[in-house]
Amino acid sequence: MFNRLKERWKVNSLNLVLIICTFALGGSACARVGKGIMSLTSLESGFIWWFIYIILISLLWPICVLLISIPLGQFVFFKNYIKRIGGKLFRKMNSTPTKIAIFASGKGSNAENIIRFSKQTGLFSVSVVVTNNPNGGIWDISKKYNLPCLLVTNEDWAKADSIEADLKNHKVEWIVLAGFLKKIPSALISAFSGKIINIHPALLPEFGGVGMFGNRVHQAVISSGKKESGITIHWVDEHYDNGDIIFAAKCDVLPNDTPETLETRVRSLEILHYPRVIAECIKKQTVR
């Protein structure tokens, strides 16, 4: 733990000890000063007393640690530390979740998992769903969560500027593909550069490309004799399943596997990892 703290804070062992002492002494001083101030009031110990006390020590803590850091030679560290913490709190209080569009062609199980994650965590917000399938299950899912669902025809797909305009109308900042079977136009990739993510139900670069989706992928993996399969989350470029890999997770391919049984294990990896990786990618770009 101490080695990780030294690396994170970029300090030597002596300074780390002094920093920890400053934290401890600052917290103790803050508590004593806070109780001293509260003793001057007529309030009795109870909910209101504790509520005011917590607010008070939250305000006193930066002052106490800065004062104690001076004789311990850690003033510069704590000045920068408090500035970083304050900046993060300010951004969090004044920021709105990044809006994403989910592109899906099939039943929409991945899409629903992403939508649920967004509502539970607030780390991003799904503002619109896009599909090229007028009969896909994604329609029922978008209705269930009261989300607009846009149908993109082949003619629409040939005019990427109109799709881009629709996405901008919904204030979309990122595009997430969840079982979307059409290749993303170059114009759309340019408009959302570095902000389009896809998931593939196998370990790329193998078993990707045109026509490799659904059980076709799982059958190809089984037929190849591979002992492992999994998922690959990657950036989207102008070629199928070709962008830089962001994250991969593996599962075993069993001797008696069928495409359906293998799909079940791969699906569990998708459900577990995809929403989290989306959130991490968005966060990394947001804090740059």
Give the model's pLDDT for residue 153: 84
Average pLDDT score over the chain: 90
Q: Please write the tens of the pLDDT for every residue from 188-217.
A: 999 999 999 999 999 999 999 888 888 999
d(CA 237, CA 226) in angstroms, rounded, equals: 27
Amino acid, single-letter form, for residue 226: K
- Active site includes 200? yes
Q: Please write the tens of the pLDDT for every residue from 211-249.
A: 888 899 999 999 999 999 999 999 999 888 899 999 999
Question: Token pair of 178, please?
Answer: 């969840």
pLDDT at 288 over 60: no
Q: Please write the tens of the pLDDT for every residue from 94-141.
A: 568 999 999 999 889 999 999 999 999 999 999 999 999 999 899 999
Give the model's pLDDT for residue 94: 56
103, 127 Cβ separation under 8 angstroms: no
Half-sphere exposure (Cβ direction) of 120: Cα atoms closer than 13 Å = 9
pTM to 2 decimal places: 0.68
Delimit the domains of the chain by residue range.
2-93, 98-286
Average pLDDT rounded to a whole number, residues 62-91: 85
Class of domain 98-286: alpha beta
d(CA 79, CA 125) in angstroms, rounded, equals: 34
pLDDT at 169 over 80: yes
Give the model's pLDDT for residue 91: 60
Q: Burial letters for 157-174: b for 16+ Cβ neighbours within 10 Å, e otherwise?
A: beebeebbebbeebebbb
Question: Token pair of 78, please?
Answer: 């704590």
Catalytic residue from among 170, 200, 218, 239: 200
High-pLDDT (> 70) share of the chain, %: 95
